[in-house]
Amino acid sequence: DAGVIQSPRHEVTEMGQEVTLRCKPISGHNSLFWYRQTMMRGLELLIYFNNNVPIDDSGMPEDRFSAKMPNASFSTLKIQPSEPRDSAVYFCASGGSSYEQYFGPGTRLTVT
């Protein structure tokens, strides 16, 4: 398996623009997580899905952030409108029944 795949790997955008991050989990995994990592706040769980259903989105910082999982092999995290303080590395991870999580390589987002 290719592991968790994220795209793009790097994104630079201007404040106010819409940003969409994409994730393909490991085949057969039924849970998917979106995390954000910054120097100031470390690694934060934004939202996680189980069997394509959002279970806990309490970590989503504000209404500008939204996440979807239309099927078992694809998820998106959207920021609209983006702000400079959204600059961070966004990780997607997937997990199976063992609760072990497997991380993707991350998307480095820079909002100018």
Partner 1 sequence: KQEVTQIPAALSVPEGENLVLNCSFTDSAIYNLQWFRQDPGKGLTSLLLIQSSQREQTSGRLNASLDKSSGRSTLYIAASQPGDSATYLCAVGTGGFKTIFGAGTRLFVKA
CB of 16 to partner 1, least distance (A): 28
d(CA 9, CA 104): 10
CB of 3 to partner 1, least distance (A): 9
Opening angle at CA 16, ends 12 and 21, nearest 5: 50
Between 14 and 100, whose beta carbon lies closer to partner 1? 100
d(CA 31, CA 2): 17
Between 19 and 93, whose beta carbon lies closer to partner 1? 93
Helix (H, G, I), strand (E, B) or coil at 15: coil
CB of 65 to partner 1, least distance (A): 18
How is residue 82 annotated by DSSP? -
Please report, as ranges, the residues that interact with partner 1 according to CB under 8 A: 4, 31, 33, 42-45, 48, 50, 55-56, 91, 93, 95, 98-106
